[in-house]
Structure 1
Amino acid sequence: MARIKQKGKAGAAKNFITRNQAIKKLQVTLADFRRLCILKGIYPREPRNKKKANKGSTAPATFYYTKDIQYLLHEPVLLKFREHKTFARKLSKALGRGDLSTAKRLNEDKPQYTLDHIIKERYPTFVDALRDMDDALSMLFLFASMPQNDKISAATIANCERLCAEFQHYVIRSRSLRKTFLSIKGIYYQADIKGQDVTWLVPYKFSQQVPTDVDFRIMLTFLDFHQTFVGFVNYKLYSELGLVYPPEMDVQKDEGAAGLGAFVVEKIAKNITADEDAEMADVDVKDTSAQVASLGEKLATIRDDSVEEAPVEEVEDDAAVLDDFSTAAPNADGALAQPDATVSAPTNLFSNFTFYLSREVPRYSLEFLIKSFGGKVSWDPILGAGSPLEENDPRITHHVCDRPNQEKRFPGRSYLQPQWVYDCINKGRLVAIDEYAPGALLPPHLSPFVKVEEGDYDPEAVPVEAEAEEEEEEDVEEETGMQVADDDEEEEEEEVEEKAAAASTIPTAEDSDVDEEIDEHERQLAAEAAGVAYSKAAPSKRGKKTDAPKETKAEKEAREAQDMAKIMMSNKHKKLYAKMQYGIQKKEEQTNSLRQKRKAIEKEKRKGGGKKGGN
């Protein structure tokens, strides 16, 4: 005979535990319980039946998995919390007695915990860690821009700035930046690291007002975990590139607001003796001499073909877009390494350019972007120390400014607004500089993170050739007052309309069937005399009708099948289907409206350009 189940001993009542029960079981305060759950990544759960999970009670409660709470019983950080509770009690007693020496000794031996083991538990693989970098980086950049107060210490802000700068240096070295976007919240960046998209948000460098309605105890707990987490990731990334971690920081440059230039990124020095180095070089030369010779011939033929077939374009664009052919290490089978298909933007976009940043542009963002794509940057001394070039240096090719009128201009360089850098990166190519001249009306800054689905309006899509031809014909009609259609067709259409009108003027009688037959016979005779088929003239008495496109057999079958499916639906599914169709129709109307607006704007632009050209 089966054992009778007892109420509250199995099912949801056993799998879930309330927050108050968990606190009693762990013997910690509510603040320590929240901190422990944040560090371990344990969050509340929602049972299907709250009444069963709460053993018949309908009182509001927060539930956790019982296994998660059982897992916390053996957490080393929990022991440190208990030790800290004992330390706080001893310290308060010493201060109450006025024993300052004992209080100082207790404070020096204050129990501290580390989160290294938690990082390894939560992220067993490095790819798992990269997938969780978005929130960590966004929080670090947020606290790096906040002012010091009684809740946020200066050491915490400095550590966040250091970790952010280290990660930015890795992105610059690895050329892994792919997208960027200027939004109201801040500047979005996206990097491709080991096939994982890492997106983070950097706030603008404005004076920040610390809100009073934010619980900074919880925020600082998250920040404590994210600092340790990003430190682990940075160490792994630097080690894979063969760089020294942590990079050295020049204190003088940092005090002078040098930004990224205050850090010195160096490669790891390999301690190899001279004999070992010579032996390794001999082996490499013997093994690869034949392959390098054949590789040089292949590269020579590739260069000749590219020179013969390459179209003539602007010199500035060619210098940035063409690849720099260098001797690449062949694979084991002697074939050249194929390019990575996941790379969407060229990493050497600004490799041949030197930029100068005026004092009114955001240096902290433009310096990072330009260096990430191989460019060289210098800036106004008021923005910080460490600028490699002065403003009048002839090597500067692009001058980034955000003023409508530039008082002093240097010959041989292009003056442009900061948005040009962002749009070039998002489009993966160098766009025309004319639209980004100082004082010019900038083109729309579109988000590269929006994925255009089927039926959506794509602002970057090139208009269809047929639509462009129709627009040209309309322009010709408006300017010359003539139609594009042939004269013969116009004359034939006018004759048909006149004859049809003459045939339609015959009066109709509806008094009797005999009169109707006589009138119809007379109308047929009049139409034949006019040389027009009666079928064309007859509809004119009931008004003009537009010829609807004929429905094909396949379309008819599909429509009938759809109607049959609607009939077989339940009322619930019919309402859901109607809502879906309503949403699709609204989306199509919005898309068509945007397309019409774009067509009208482009038409106005062409008119304005034509008038200017004519004048």
Structure 2
Amino acid sequence: MGKIKKKFSEGSSRTYTTRNRALRKLQVSLADFRRLCILKGIYPVEPRSQKKANRGSSKPTTFYYAKDIQLLLSEPLIAKFREHKIFLRKLQRALGKDDLTRAKGLEARRPEYTLDHLVIERYPAFVDALRDLDDALCMVFLFATMPTVSKVNNEIVEDCKRLSTEFMHYVIHSHSLRKVFLSIKGIYYQAEIQGQSITWIVPYQFSQNVPLDVDFKVMATFLQFYRTLLGFVNYRLYTTSNLSYPPKVDQSMDDSAAGLGSLRIEAKRVEDLIKGVQSSDTTSVPEVTMSKQMKQRMDTLGSKIKKIVAADTTTPAYESVGSGEADGDVDDETRQSGNLLFGKQVFFLSREVPRYSLEFVVRAFGGRLGWDQTSGGGSPYAENDRAITVQISDRPVQGHQFLDRIYVQPQWVYDSINARRLLDVEDYLIGQPLPAHLSPFVEYEEGDYVPEAASKLAAAAGFEGEVTNLKPEDRDQSEDEDEDAEEAADIDGASADEDAPDSDEEDEEDEDAIAEKQHQKQLLAERAGVSFSEYQQKQGAKPKPKAVAGKKRTKAEVEEEERQKIAISMLSKKKRKVVNRTQADAYKKAKDVNTLKTRKAQATAKPVKSAKGKKN
């Protein structure tokens, strides 16, 4: 006789655990458990059988992996949370007794904790942190534009502004911005950093009303971890680019609303690098035991670093906009590359355009710019400067114009970035109706609806693909049979007896589907106010959509059609369903494309002028 196993000792009941059991095991409150799960990156899971995972109970509940809960037992943050609760009780007791001296002493000894170990634990490699940076940037940029209210602390908002500005400065310095899209929700940006595509959204800088139905406690917990993560990422990006971190803030420029120009990004000096290497080596290896060869290498390190810095001409020298020398040392060949699209342009921003976005994208692509004094201080170019080549304005009428520059609307900048070339300015002149602002994140496939503007951009860029041919016409019988042949060619011919064990289930599914269709037809007949037999007769009298007259097919095409039909009939029932489902999806896709074409034709059609009647 085998050993009797204890109930619920293996299987799903041991792999998963409920939230209530996790709270009893960790001896924490529900709020602290949520904070721990958010900070540690532990999320609820859905077991295959909830009844087995819940030890025979069918009551709906939240499940977690038992190993994740076991991992939380050794988390030092639990002790920090308990210390903070004890501190709050002592502080409340002191304030209740009006003991202000004790309350001040407790406030000075407030327990604090950091999340540095969690960042290292969750992201052992720097590439992992870059892959997971999208949500962090969205959250930080959101709180950077939030107003200071009771639910949002002023220190948190200022820290988010600092972190977001530092990241934008690195994107400008590395010229890693790739795509920009203006949507209703905000402005989408995509940058490519160390081979990783990072996409985030920045809200428009409008006055915001803080909603009352948002749980800011949960968002604050996420933001606490994201701020720590972004601080680590910014430090690593700056140090690998030989930039000093944190960047210095020019307080006078910041007070005058200089924006990105208030930060001073400086490269590390060669002397500082040598001192850092020497200090690290002397602390680890005594000077007495240092060999002569090591001393010689240290003596020549300064000259080698100077040679490397002098030879590195691909990375332009970076300074603040306020100095007016942001890209002055960059050669013309580097400016003509894709990352320096505006390398030869000097922009001037009128006061009505979004300066916070245009300054970022223009400088990220190597351009220089100035702005109106009412938009903020620190502008290196005045409006009457002769070096300005392009002025961005969003007013249909200009009070005065300079003949040596081009006046365009802001969309020209964003569309040129997405097209990776300077577009023709005729469609973007002041007062002209703007073309469609297409999303650069959409990739068109064969059969998709391609807007006319996308086809024009692809043709202007010299694309020799099938963009202009991605316009499926009306579906006729020959096209249906061609698609059937393509689908059937990719599927191995198998007999219908291969899936015999599943035939009963498939028959039940077919019967259910037929019954559902019959019920729908009866409802339609009842809605039309006729009997079901009359409704069927009317439906049968209607011409089928596939009976569209087309060109006469050749004998070879007819034989190929028959051969493909025979090949499909030899497939198993399950594989025939796959082929039919694929054909139905293709038909629905073509139908949607044709619907969009019809709507476009109706929208662009000129209205017919009706004849005016004579008055009696």
Query: Within the alignment, does 1:450 sit opposite 2:442 as a pair?
Result: yes
* Shift in CA distance, 405/29, structure 1 to aligned 2, threshold 3 Å: same
Give the 3-state SS of the residue equivalent to 2:455 in structure 1.
coil
In structure 1, the partner of 2:455 is 461
Alignment partners' CA distance in 1, 2:374 and 2:66: 59
Task: Return the letter of the residue paired with 1:584.
Answer: A
Q: Is the 8 A contact 2:568 2:576 kept in 1?
A: no
Task: Return the letter of the residue paired with 1:173.
Answer: H
Shift of 1:96: 2.3
TM-score of the aligned structures, taking structure 2 as reference length: 0.72
In structure 1, the partner of 2:563 is 557
Shift of 1:98: 2.2
In structure 2, the partner of 1:386 is 378
Shift of 1:146: 0.7
Give the 3-state SS of the residue equivalent to 2:348 in structure 1.
strand
**1:58-95 alpha-carbon deviations (Å, 9 max, x no partner):** 21211111111111111111110111111122222222
Percentage of identical aligned residues:
51
Alignment partners' CA distance in 1, 2:427 and 2:307: 55
Alignment partners' CA distance in 2, 1:346 and 1:153: 41
Shift of 1:446: 0.4
* Further displaced range: 46-55 or 91-100: 91-100
In structure 2, the partner of 1:404 is 396
In the alignment, structure 1 segments of 5+ residues that lack a partner are 289-321, 327-338, 340-344, 469-544, 605-615
In structure 1, the partner of 2:367 is 375
Alignment partners' CA distance in 1, 2:254 and 2:305: 41
User: 1:97-116 to 2 correspondence within 5 Å?
Assistant: 97-116=97-116
User: 1:326-475 to 2 correspondence within 5 Å?
Assistant: 346-459=338-451, 460-461=454-455
Alignment partners' CA distance in 2, 1:199 and 1:466: 28
Alignment partners' CA distance in 2, 1:448 and 1:208: 28
Task: Return the letter of the residue paired with 1:387.
Answer: S
Give the 3-state SS of the residue equivalent to 1:461 in structure 2.
helix
Give the 3-state SS of the residue equivalent to 1:124 in structure 2.
coil
Shift of 1:162: 0.4
Q: Is the 8 A contact 2:169 2:260 kept in 1?
A: yes
Give the 3-state SS of the residue equivalent to 1:59 in structure 2.
coil
User: 1:521-560 to 2 correspondence within 5 Å?
Assistant: 548-550=552-554, 551-552=556-557, 553-560=559-566
Task: Return the letter of the residue paired with 1:324.
Answer: D
Alignment partners' CA distance in 2, 1:126 and 1:465: 38
Alignment partners' CA distance in 2, 1:217 and 1:358: 40
Alignment partners' CA distance in 1, 2:431 and 2:401: 14
Structure number with bigger Rg: 1
Give the 3-state SS of the residue equivalent to 1:22 in structure 2.
helix
* Further displaced range: 269-278 or 2-11: 269-278
**1:167-188 alpha-carbon deviations (Å, 9 max, x no partner):** 0000000000000000000000
Alignment partners' CA distance in 2, 1:284 and 1:139: 39
Shift of 1:560: 2.5
Alignment partners' CA distance in 2, 1:569 and 1:237: 57
Shift of 1:590: 2.8
Alignment partners' CA distance in 1, 2:10 and 2:465: 69
**1:42-72 alpha-carbon deviations (Å, 9 max, x no partner):** 0111111111111111212111111111111
Alignment partners' CA distance in 2, 1:284 and 1:125: 27
In structure 1, the partner of 2:573 is 569
Query: Within the alignment, does 1:586 sit opposite 2:588 as a pair?
Result: yes
In structure 1, the partner of 2:157 is 157
User: 1:240-255 to 2 correspondence within 5 Å?
Assistant: 240-255=240-255
Alignment partners' CA distance in 2, 1:388 and 1:221: 41
Aligned alpha-carbon RMSD (Å): 3.2
Task: Return the letter of the residue paired with 2:573.
Answer: M
TM-score of the aligned structures, taking structure 1 as reference length: 0.72
Task: Return the letter of the residue paired with 1:371.
Answer: R
Task: Return the letter of the residue paired with 2:552.
Answer: A
Task: Return the letter of the residue paired with 1:548.
Answer: K
Give the 3-state SS of the residue equivalent to 2:4 in structure 1.
coil
* Further displaced range: 455-464 or 52-61: 455-464
In structure 1, the partner of 2:198 is 198
* Shift in CA distance, 149/599, structure 1 to aligned 2, threshold 3 Å: closer
Shift of 1:409: 0.3
Alignment partners' CA distance in 2, 1:382 and 1:283: 45
In the alignment, structure 2 segments of 5+ residues that lack a partner are 276-297, 312-329, 469-548, 607-616
Q: Is the 8 A contact 2:270 2:305 kept in 1?
A: no
**1:115-140 alpha-carbon deviations (Å, 9 max, x no partner):** 00000000010110000110000001
Alignment partners' CA distance in 2, 1:235 and 1:99: 43
Query: Within the alignment, does 1:56 sit opposite 2:56 as a pair?
Result: yes
Alignment partners' CA distance in 1, 2:68 and 2:185: 36
In structure 2, the partner of 1:542 is none
Give the 3-state SS of the residue equivalent to 2:358 in structure 1.
helix
Q: Is the 8 A contact 2:19 2:64 kept in 1?
A: yes
Give the 3-state SS of the residue equivalent to 1:390 in structure 2.
coil
Task: Return the letter of the residue paired with 1:195.
Answer: G
Give the 3-state SS of the residue equivalent to 1:347 in structure 2.
helix
Alignment partners' CA distance in 2, 1:181 and 1:546: 42
Alignment partners' CA distance in 1, 2:466 and 2:34: 63
Task: Return the letter of the residue paired with 2:592.
Answer: Q
* Shift in CA distance, 222/556, structure 1 to aligned 2, threshold 3 Å: same
Alignment partners' CA distance in 1, 2:188 and 2:123: 25
* Shift in CA distance, 269/465, structure 1 to aligned 2, threshold 3 Å: closer
* Shift in CA distance, 268/187, structure 1 to aligned 2, threshold 3 Å: same
Shift of 1:40: 0.3
User: 1:106-255 to 2 correspondence within 5 Å?
Assistant: 106-255=106-255
Give the 3-state SS of the residue equivalent to 1:9 in structure 2.
coil
* Shift in CA distance, 278/90, structure 1 to aligned 2, threshold 3 Å: closer
Q: Is the 8 A contact 2:450 2:467 kept in 1?
A: no
